[in-house]
């Protein structure tokens, strides 16, 4: 009879342990999804601001259509990848390309003092800069949650539970192209 209680006690402890690990993995998965949702909110704000910024710049820099077209194309590519629920790596690539082209608009403004002094442009530039900062913060938050989730999925003994319940590692949101890390050079 004592053996039965010992086995029963071990079984109860094992079940509680499995439940605790499972719940921890679910919590990390949900935090990761919430972090991605935070990025979505900021990306939507960015998508809404860009057309206004481009229209403001068009009035001052009519011969800079190439730069404006690149920004518009990058925005469209990023929105399409986002709206089609493309793989995270593709979405990150398109978002990073958009960030890179936005830098060229701000560099362009340096060459047009009237544009730089325009209140609408200044306000849009400030809002977009604020949004870019929030996107960076959201990416860092997301990557921190991905790190924690991936660590739990990979470490023993939680990797056993993660495998049993099919938890999968998530990809980090990172720059994939070394050119995107360089400062934008604008020449006229």
Write the CA distances from 14 to 28, 38, 39, 131, 167, integer angstroms: 21, 36, 38, 47, 20
- Per-residue burial over 99-125, b if 16 or more Cβ lie within 10 Å, else e, is bbbbbbbbebbeeeeebeebeebeebb
Q: Is residue 186 part of a domain?
A: no
Q: Which domain holds residue 132?
A: 2-181
Cα–Cα distance between 121 and 70 in angstroms, integer? 18
Q: Is residue 54 part of a domain?
A: yes
- Find the helix packing angle between 2-60 and 119-154, rounded to 10°: 160
- Cα dihedral 85/87/93/97 (nearest 10): -10
- Per-residue burial over 31-51, b if 16 or more Cβ lie within 10 Å, else e, is bbeebbebbeebbebbbebbe
Q: Is residue 145 part of a domain?
A: yes
What pLDDT is attached to residue 23? 97
Q: Is residue 104 part of a domain?
A: yes
Q: Is residue 187 part of a domain?
A: no
Q: Are 128 and 53 in contact (CB under 8 A)?
A: yes
CA angle 168–169–173, rounded 5-degree value: 135
Domain total in the chain:
1
Inform me whether the pLDDT recorded for 111 exceeds 80: no
Nearest to 145 by CA among 19, 32, 22: 32
Predicted confidence band of residue 102 (pLDDT cuts 50, 70, 90): confident
| Residue 63 phi, psi dihedral angles, 5° rounding | -85, 5
The verdict on pTM exceeding 0.75 is no
Burial (CB < 10 A; 0-12, 13-18, 19+), residue 14, is exposed
Q: Is residue 26 part of a domain?
A: yes
pLDDT greater at residue 66 or residue 151: 151
Cα–Cα distance between 183 and 166 in angstroms, integer? 41
**Mean pLDDT, rounded, for 108-125:** 74
CATH number of the domain bearing residue 142: 1.20.1440.20
Q: Is residue 175 part of a domain?
A: yes
Q: Is residue 188 part of a domain?
A: no
Write the pLDDT tens digit of every residue in 5-48.
999 999 999 999 999 999 999 999 999 999 999 998 998 888 88
């Amino acid at each position: 009879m004592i053996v039965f209680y010992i086995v029963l006690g071990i079984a109860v402890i094992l079940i509680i342990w499995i439940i605790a690990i499972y719940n921890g993995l679910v919590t990390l998965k949900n935090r990761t999804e919430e972090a991605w949702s935070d990025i979505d909110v900021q990306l939507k704000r960015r998508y809404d601001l860009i057309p206004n910024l481009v229209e403001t710049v068009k009035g001052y820099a009519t011969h800079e259509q190439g730069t404006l077209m690149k920004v518009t194309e990058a925005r469209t590519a990023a929105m399409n990848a986002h709206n089609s629920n493309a793989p995270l790596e593709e979405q990150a690539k398109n978002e990073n390309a958009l960030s890179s082209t936005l830098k060229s608009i701000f560099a362009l403004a340096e060459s047009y003092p009237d544009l730089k002094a325009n209140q609408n442009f200044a306000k849009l530039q400030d809002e977009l800069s604020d949004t870019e900062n929030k996107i960076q913060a959201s990416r860092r938050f997301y990557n921190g949650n991905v790190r924690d989730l991936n660590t739990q999925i990979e470490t023993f003994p939680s990797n056993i539970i993660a495998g049993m319940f099919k938890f999968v590692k998530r990809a980090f949101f990172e720059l994939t192209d070394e050119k995107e890390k360089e400062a934008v050079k604008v020449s006229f």
